[in-house]
């Protein structure tokens, strides 16, 4: 089990990016959350098997059709004993 924190930059707010993230994560069986940040980027925490997370990172690089992703900042984080369940949108 692996947990990563990802900051997605570019034109990623107001284009359905969070909904896209939730849908893809659910399709891949990943847990975590996604939220918009005040600077216009999107932050997500994803927990699951390494190969599924890599697949998710590829999807985030593309984003939904109306988005324009300019970069991803990926950081593996200690999940300690916190296991996430489901995938939620945070506000």
Catalytic residues: 18, 36
Q: 3-class DSSP state for residue 60? A: helix
Q: How many Å apart are CA 10 and CA 23, to the nearest integer?
A: 20
For residue 28, give the 3-state DSSP assignment: helix
Round to the nearest angstrom and report the end-to-end CA distance of the chain: 26
């Amino acid at each position: 089990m692996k947990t990563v924190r990802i900051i997605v930059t570019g034109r990623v707010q107001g284009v359905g990016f969070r909904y896209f993230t939730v849908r893809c994560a659910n399709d891949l069986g990943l847990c975590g959350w996604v939220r918009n940040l005040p600077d216009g980027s999107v932050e997500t925490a994803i927990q699951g098997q390494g190969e599924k997370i890599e697949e998710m990172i590829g999807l985030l690089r593309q984003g939904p059709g109306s988005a324009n992703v300019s970069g991803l900042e990926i950081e593996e984080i200690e999940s300690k004993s916190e296991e996430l369940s489901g995938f939620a949108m945070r506000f």
